[in-house]
């Protein structure tokens, strides 16, 4: 294997991995706080990609500007779905212990609806946007080049994750979210409105996808069918990094990105994801808390 080609693959993998990490952050946050596996996660990302796509297509709004529409829109959607669909499950269960499977299937149903309504509206085509800026690249030396849009996406992904960590660590709302994750009853006794925290958490987890979608659309093609693949990939990232750990997400994403990118040099790109699944299974069997996760 040519070390230069391998080097390029690793750099591409890191760039991609940062994005995977940012995509998975929302899933990890939701699972960490609510113990709900959001099976519709990838479908929310798909919406997060379609919003900047249409804003560009119809009004020529720059995707980076679209964030101010996409992030609140997805926050609202997530908030609404949690408040109207998932919250009743909590209220029904005794002692507010949620049966994880029913929430998983419920969000799977939501995902099916989102995917197929989008499919009926826009058809199966893969769509992307072309900006003049998108073809420019940063050259490092003679061989290695990184497309600016990808570089921005990577840096912004890391920034989102850091910002989210700071938010959870330093603000009152963040503290309320963390305390709810640690012990719901104790949080409730301290005067925290647990159901409202859940709504906000779910909304936040989705809002991140609005931002990521705007970062991805300059170089990524969107179609209504991409949701499930990204959802599954996010589960792998989250489990790899350790459920509930925000820095773990980026680490998991980076590992996943590099593995996929390097493996694609040896086998076809479509079979490269087999390796991610194998890693996923090994981690679950041998280190179920993930690489940076805390003991349950």
CB of 151 to other proteins, least distance (A): 30
Instruction: Name the residue nearer to other proteins (CB basis): 66 or 273.
Output: 273
Instruction: Catalog residues that contact other proteins under the rule CB under 8 A.
Output: 31, 37, 85, 88-89, 92, 100-102, 104-106, 108-113, 115-117, 119-120, 224, 228, 232, 235-236, 239, 267-268, 270-271, 273-274, 277-278, 280-281, 284-285, 288
CB of 17 to other proteins, least distance (A): 19
Instruction: Name the residue nearer to other proteins (CB basis): 120 or 189.
Output: 120
Residue 79 region by backbone torsions, left for phi larger than 0, else alpha for psi between -120 and 50, else beta: alpha
Give first-to-last CA distance, the chain, whole Å: 42
Evaluate whether 202 touches 34 at the Cβ level (below 8 Å): yes
CB of 100 to other proteins, least distance (A): 4
Instruction: Name the residue nearer to other proteins (CB basis): 65 or 294.
Output: 294
CB of 249 to other proteins, least distance (A): 16
- The values of phi and psi at residue 145, to 5°, are -135, 145
Polymer length of the chain: 296
Enumerate residues 6+ apart whose C-beta is below 8 A from 241: 21, 24, 28, 247, 248, 249, 250, 251, 252, 253, 290, 291, 292, 293
CB of 15 to other proteins, least distance (A): 23
Q: In sequence order, what are the beta bridge partners of 127?
A: 222
Report how far residue 38's alpha carbon sits from residue 181's, in angstroms, rounded to the nearest whole number. 16
Q: Locate tokens 């946007």: which residue?
A: 129
Helix%, strand%, coil% for the chain, nearest 5:
75, 5, 20
Instruction: Name the residue nearer to other proteins (CB basis): 85 or 96.
Output: 85
Instruction: Name the residue nearer to other proteins (CB basis): 40 or 292.
Output: 40
Instruction: Name the residue nearer to other proteins (CB basis): 35 or 175.
Output: 35
CB of 285 to other proteins, least distance (A): 6
- CA nearest neighbour of 156 among 218, 73, 223: 218
CB of 251 to other proteins, least distance (A): 19
Instruction: Name the residue nearer to other proteins (CB basis): 113 or 140.
Output: 113
Residue 181 region by backbone torsions, left for phi larger than 0, else alpha for psi between -120 and 50, else beta: alpha
């Amino acid at each position: 294997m040519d070390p230069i080609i391998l080097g390029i693959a690793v750099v591409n993998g890191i760039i991609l991995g940062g994005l995977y990490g940012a995509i998975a952050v929302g899933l990890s946050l939701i699972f960490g706080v609510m113990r709900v596996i959001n099976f519709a996660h990838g479908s929310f990302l798909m919406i997060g990609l379609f919003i900047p796509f249409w804003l560009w297509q119809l009004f020529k709004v720059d995707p980076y500007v679209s964030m101010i529409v996409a992030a609140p829109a997805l926050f609202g959607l997530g908030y609404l779905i949690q408040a109207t669909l998932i919250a009743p499950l909590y209220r029904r269960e005794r002692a507010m212990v949620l049966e994880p499977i029913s929430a998983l299937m419920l969000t799977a149903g939501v995902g099916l609806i989102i995917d197929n309504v989008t499919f009926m509206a826009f058809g199966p085509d893969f769509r992307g946007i072309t900006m003049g800026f998108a073809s420019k690249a940063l050259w490092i030396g003679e061989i290695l080049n990184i497309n600016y849009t990808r570089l921005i996406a990577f840096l912004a992904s890391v920034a989102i994750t850091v910002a989210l960590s700071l938010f959870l660590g330093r603000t009152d709302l963040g503290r309320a979210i963390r305390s709810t994750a640690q012990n719901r009853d104790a949080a409730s006794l301290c005067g925290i409105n647990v159901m409202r925290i859940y709504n906000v958490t779910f909304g936040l987890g989705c809002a991140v996808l609005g931002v990521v979608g705007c970062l991805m659309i300059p170089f990524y093609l969107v179609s209504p069918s991409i949701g499930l693949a990204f959802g599954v990939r996010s589960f792998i990232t989250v489990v790899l990094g350790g459920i509930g750990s925000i820095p773990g997400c980026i680490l998991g994403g980076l590992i996943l990105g590099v593995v996929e990118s390097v493996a694609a040099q040896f086998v076809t790109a479509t079979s490269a994801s087999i390796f991610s699944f194998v890693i996923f299974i090994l981690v679950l069997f041998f280190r179920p808390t993930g690489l940076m996760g805390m003991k349950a």
